[in-house]
Amino acid sequence: MAGVAEYIKESYIELTEKVTWPTWRELQNSAILVLVAAMIIAMVIFGMDQIIGYLLNQFYTSLT
């Protein structure tokens, strides 16, 4: 049990003294960047889906 307690103590020390946490402004900028990138990727995938759907529809209607 002493090993677990020592691990938790060392983890706490590392998180409070050794880790460099981002500032609130840096965190906001990163979140906005991720949101914009996710929206762009979503729009690209949506566009590809629409194009492939259109092409498949044209192909299947040409068979009849």
The pLDDT score that the predictor gives to residue 2 is: 76
Instruction: Judge contact between 26 and 18, C-beta under 8 A.
Output: no
Query: Is a pLDDT exceeding 80 seen at residue 1?
Result: no
CA dihedral (40, 42, 45, 46) in degrees, to 10, reads -110
pLDDT tens by residue, 3-61: 899 999 999 999 999 999 999 999 999 999 999 999 999 999 999 999 999 999 999 99
Rounded CA separation 16/64 (Å): 69
Domain-embedded: residue 64: yes
Rounded CA separation 56/39 (Å): 26
The pLDDT score that the predictor gives to residue 64 is: 75
- What single DSSP character describes residue 20? -
Q: Which two tokens stand for residue 38?
A: 């996710």
The pLDDT score that the predictor gives to residue 26 is: 97
Domain-embedded: residue 55: yes
The pLDDT score that the predictor gives to residue 44 is: 98
Q: Which domain holds residue 43?
A: 22-64
Domain-embedded: residue 63: yes
